[in-house]
Amino acid sequence: MSYQALYRKYRPKTFKDVYGQEHITETLKNELAQGTTVHAYLFTGTRGTGKTTCAKILANAVNCTDLKDGNPCLECESCRSFLSGENTDIVEIDAASNNGVDDIRILREQIAFAPASSKYRVYIIDEVHMLSINAFNALLKTLEEPPSHVIFILATTEVHKLPATILSRCQRFDFRRIDSEKICERLQFIAKEEGLSLTDEAATLIASAADGGMRDALSILDLCASGNQNIDEATVENVCAMAGSDYLLELADFIKQKDTESALLMLDKLHNSSVDMLRLLSELISHYRDLMIIKTVKKGSRPIVCSTKRLEALENQAKDYDIKDIIFTLNCLQSSTALMQSGNRRCEMEMAVIKLCNPEISVDIAALERRISALENGNIRPVKKSVASTPKPVVETSVLEEPDEIPLPEPPEESEEIATPEKEPTAPSTDGIAKVDNWNEILDILKTTCPLIAGVLGESSAYIKGDYLLIDAKNSQFRTLIKTANGLYKDHIRKAAEQVLGATYKLGPYSAEKQAKAKDPLLSLADKLKNLDINQ
């Protein structure tokens, strides 16, 4: 006989062998013992928690002629035919590949026939959420009032996809993630049966990787056993391409110390060792989640699955971390998860680490809060950049509270006003104005964040005067647009300018042509004479 996978070889045959789902197995045993089984069951829960296993045990038990405390006897003729796979009255249907309305119509025709050799015909429909809407509608009436000799057992990992009309016709059982201690206990039992040496640390690591799924845990054990009869923590890390706890601790230290170079070199080392970046990201998220739990949950009741040695290392590292930094790191890593699914995983991981080590390059609110906190504590210096040859002002955080109006550098005509404040603001002086040479970079950002404003500012230029960013817009629509949308367009301009210039500025209008004429009295006189000729 060919080799049989461990999860199949040790699949429970009675309810007493099912681990971690006592709240379900006890109820089912009582129903069987009292003869109060119903016509339709719904088993739901995450993968590998025992849904299909319990469905098969229940299908066997309802036809068993000699139940023992609600468990099938495994000795009667019905049990023997079930174990050998010869019982034609127990039908398993994969809804993923039989999900059409025609498949359900065939099933409705079949249930009219009486069982061949058993008391009940049992239909186990796995992944039932994959049925089409029309298939669900075709199943409704049959599911509500099936023949007395028919029992339906529906199993799914995504119960939210089932119509309410289906849910209301079934007795529902929710399978929980299996406790890690239960998984470790089962792993040690099977390892002993198979002649394997499994350390407690390795069993704990397998249980953690399985995330509450017994089938996943047995599959990992099977994989480990294929290469080594003596399974320790290093074996599990090797087989699962895990980074390992030491690497995670060291990487977290580099992030805490803002040591970008060392962190990137470690990522390169892990990548060259065939560590999957998506798995590394998941492990790093779990690592910071453990740090978060240690910082917030009292000792002795922490929901953390790890060895005693690793727990001590986590506790030591958590002492140097602030809970705000942990939450920020988790948010940053979680936001990278979706991008990793389709993009370059290595590049995305490196970008995430660079952001964590250099919060000053990030422009989200959490990063700004961290930068302000670091500035207050004297841990980092503000970013300084130059525009042309004029040094830029270091803008205090109070600039973020600037009034909604935009101050004017010269008295405007009424049609040119950008805002109508209650009190006319004092216009900044036009002396000492420096042109922004990299204004095109700001416009490039606006093309992505606010294309409308970018189009209006197509042929514009900008200047800096003190803590003002003065915009010389050739398009007359700019002044009209900037007053609309409750300051939304102004915010886009300020944020784009901050990314390029490294500081936040107040906004103001500017006209290089008018300023040139104001400085040259002959040009002003020529304009007046020109207007006089036109009026005459």
Provide the mean pLDDT of the chain: 79
Given a cut of 80, is residue 397 above it in pLDDT?
no
Which has more pLDDT, 353 or 298? 353
Q: Global pTM?
A: 0.56
The per-residue pLDDT for range 233-266, each reduced to its tens digit, is 888 877 776 656 678 888 999 988 888 999 999 8
Q: Where along the chain do the CATH 3.40.50.300 domains lie?
A: 6-175
> DSSP secondary structure string, 413-480?
PGGG-S---SSPPPPPPSTT-EE-TTHHHHHHHHHHH-HHHHHHTTT-EEEEETTEEEEE-SSTHHHH
237 neighbors 280 (Cβ within 8 angstroms):
no
Tokens of 89: 């009255």
Phi, psi of 42 (to 5 degrees): -130, 115
pLDDT confidence of 485, banded at 50, 70, 90? low
Which has more pLDDT, 274 or 124? 124
Given a cut of 90, is residue 389 above it in pLDDT?
no
Given a cut of 50, is residue 399 above it in pLDDT?
no
The per-residue pLDDT for range 359-385, each reduced to its tens digit, is 766 655 555 565 566 566 554 444 444
Q: Which fold has domain 180-239?
A: Helicase, Ruva Protein; domain 3 (1.10.8)
In whole angstroms, give the CA distance from residue 175 to residue 177: 7
| CATH of the domain spanning 245-373 | 1.20.272.10
How large is the average pLDDT for residues 15-37?
90
Q: Which fold has domain 390-517?
A: GMP Synthetase; Chain A, domain 3 (3.30.300)
Give the highest mean pLDDT range of 139-143, 407-411, 428-432: 139-143
482 neighbors 490 (Cβ within 8 angstroms):
yes
pLDDT confidence of 122, banded at 50, 70, 90? very high
Q: Where along the chain do the CATH 1.10.8.60 domains lie?
A: 180-239
How large is the average pLDDT for residues 518-535?
54
Tokens of 465: 């005067």
Q: Where along the chain do the CATH 3.30.300.180 domains lie?
A: 390-517
pLDDT of 408 reads: 44
In whole angstroms, give the CA distance from residue 340 to residue 285: 14
Phi, psi of 523 (to 5 degrees): -65, -40
Where does 20-124 have alpha helices with state H? 22-34, 51-61, 77-83, 101-110
pLDDT of 515 reads: 62
Residues 6 or more apart whose CB falls under 8 angstroms from that of 18 comprise 12, 25, 50, 53, 54, 57
Q: Where along the chain do the CATH 1.20.272.10 domains lie?
A: 245-373
Residue 263 buriedness (CB in 10 A; 0-12 / 13-18 / 19+)? buried
The position carrying tokens 């404040």 is: 421
Helix (H) or strand (E) holding 156: strand 150-156
Pairing of strands 386-387, 390-391: antiparallel
With respect to CATH, is domain 6-175 assigned 3.40.50.300?
yes
